Amino acid sequence: MSRARLVPVALAAVMVAAGCGAAQNQAGTNTDAAITIFNTDPENPLVPGNTTEAGGSRVIDALFTGLVEYRAEDAQPVNAMAEKIETKDSKLFTVTIKKGWTFHDGSPVTAKSFVDAWNWTAYGPNATQGASFFSQIEGYAEVHPKDPDGADGPQEAPKPATDKLSGLKVVDEHTFTITLSEAFSVFPVTIGYEVFAPLPEAFFKDQKAFEAAPIGNGPFKFASRNVGTDIKLTRYDDYKGDDKPKFKDLTLKVYQSREAAYADLVANNLDFMEELPPNALAGQKYETDLGDRVVQRETLNMQTIAFPFYLKPYDNVDLRRAISMAINREEITQRIFEGTRKPADGWVHPLMKGYQKGQCGEYCAFNPQKAKESFAKSGYTGEIVLLSNTDGGHQEWAEAVANSIKNTLGVQARFVPSTSFGEFRQKVNAHEMTGMYRAGWIADYPSIENWLTPLYRTGSSSNDGLYSNPAFDAKLAEADKAPSEDQAIKLYLEAERIMAPDMPVVPLWTQNTIAGKSNRLKVANLHPFRKLDLDSVEVVG
C-alpha cells in the first residue's frame, strides 16, 4: 500500500472554505449495510463538552457536527454548520450558521443551541473536562472561578457569579457573536473540536435522559448502548451535511484487548480497526494476515509517559529526566513496532506547521551515563512503576520501557497492567495514579498550540498530572495574543523550550498508523486524527 503523508497544516484566521462534498455512491455499493468498528469503552456519558478521550470521541464524532470540521485528506479546517465566521481583529467573531439543520429529535439547530451548549460546558459546577477550551472567551472567570487550592484541595471553588459567558451573544436564530478576552488568531481553528458541538433543548430539560439516549445533529443518530459491550448508531437520513454516510448502521464494539479485536478483523468479523496491536506488527505479520486490507497513513498522535506531580517521588525533576534518558526509544520502536514509530524529540508533532526539531534536547536521547547521574542526583531508591490499561495494545511496549529503565538505572522498575481504558481514565482524572502512567495525545485541531496549551498549561483540561510552570503559562499567553501566525509559532516554540527542562511528560514516539479493514469494505480511509473517515466508507454490495 502507498503511504499518504500529511502536508503541514496552515492556520486560518477566518474559516472561508466550503465543506468538501462526499463522493457519489458507486455501482455495487450497499448503502443499507451495517458495519462494525473497534472501540474502547467511553469514560463518561456521551455529552460533547465532557468527552475528551478516544473511546467517547469516536462516538461523538458520528453523532454531532460542529461549526467547523477537519478535512480528511490534509486536516485543513473547513466550514461545516457554519455558513461563515467573520472577524476583523481576531477578538470579536460573528458566526452565521446554516439554515434547515435539525437535531435527531427533529428540533432545529439554532445559534442558541451553540451558545447554550458552550455556556453549560464552561460553567464550573458542571465539572466538565472540556471547560478550559472556553477560557479564551470573555467572562470565563465569572462562570468558572479559579479553585484556590486546585481540584484536589479541601477548599471549594467560589460560586460562579453567573452561568453565562458574557462573550457569547445570540443575535438572531442563525447568528451569534463570540468576544474573546484577548485577540487569539488560532480560535477559529479550535472550534472544530467536539467540545464546541451544539446541544438540543432536550438536554437541558432532562440531562439524565439525554445521557441514556444522546441526541445529536450529526450523520448518525443513537440507537442503543450496552456498557462494556457496544454502542449502536444508525444513519440520520435528514442530515444536511455534505458528509452523508454511504452505509446505514454503525456498531462501535468494545474490546478488552486489541489482540482480540485483531483476531476478529483477520476473520472478517470486525470491519475496521484504526490501529493494529504490536503482535500484528511483529515481523510485519499484518501483511500476510490482511494483504490488500491494510490501511495506513501518518497520523497526528504521540505516545507519552505522564507523571503524577501530586505524588512523590515524581515531583522530582532529576528523577523525571533520568527516566526519559533511560528509555531506548530507537530500539523499542524497531523491536516492538517494526519501525512504524519514530522516536519523539519534543512535545509538538513533526507534522505541525512550526515544528522545530530537537526541542527536548539531551533529555529525549538515550544516554545511560547521564541517566544514571541524574538518577543519583534525585536521591530516589525505591521502585519505579509504569501503569497502563491493556485493552489498547500497550502491554508489549510498556514492558519494554520498564525493562529499559530497569536495566539502565539498575533500579526495580515494572509495568503494572490496569483496568479497561474507561476505568483507567477515570482514575487518571481523579488523580489516583500510584505511579507514572501511559498517556498520549491525538490532536484536537491542527495547530502547534494544541500540543502545548491543553496538556501543560496550569489547570488545562488535559493537564492530568497537575504540572505547573508560571513562566511557561506566561509565554503561552503571549503567543495567544500574537498578531500573526508566524509570530505566534515563534512564541509557542519558546514556550516549549521553557518547559523542556521540567520534563512534564516523557515524549516517546509518533507513528505511521497501520489500520485494517474487512473484505466487506470497498473503501475505508484513515483520518489524520487516527480514526476511521466515516465519509469515505463504501461497503460491497
Give the pLDDT confidence score for residue 8 in this predicted structure: 33
Torsion angle in degrees (nearest 10) through CA of 528, 534, 536, 537: 130
What residues pair up with 430 in beta bridges, in sequence order? none
Q: Which residues contact 428 (CB under 8 A, 6 or more apart)?
A: 437, 439, 464
Give the model's pLDDT for residue 54.
Answer: 87
Compute the CA torsion angle 518, 295, 420, 461 (nearest 10 deg): -140
* pLDDT score, position 274: 95
List, for the chain, all residue ranges whose pLDDT scores fall below the cut of 70: 1-27, 149-153, 392, 419
pLDDT confidence of residue 10: 36
* pLDDT at residue 37 in the model: 98
Residue 154: per-residue pLDDT: 74
Instruction: Return d(Cα 239, Cα 82) in angstroms, integer.
Output: 15
- Position 120 scores a pLDDT of 98
pTM: 0.81
Structural contact between residues 67 and 98, judged by C-beta atoms closer than 8 angstroms: no
Cα separation, 66 vs 243, in Å, equals 13
- Per-residue pLDDT at 17: 37
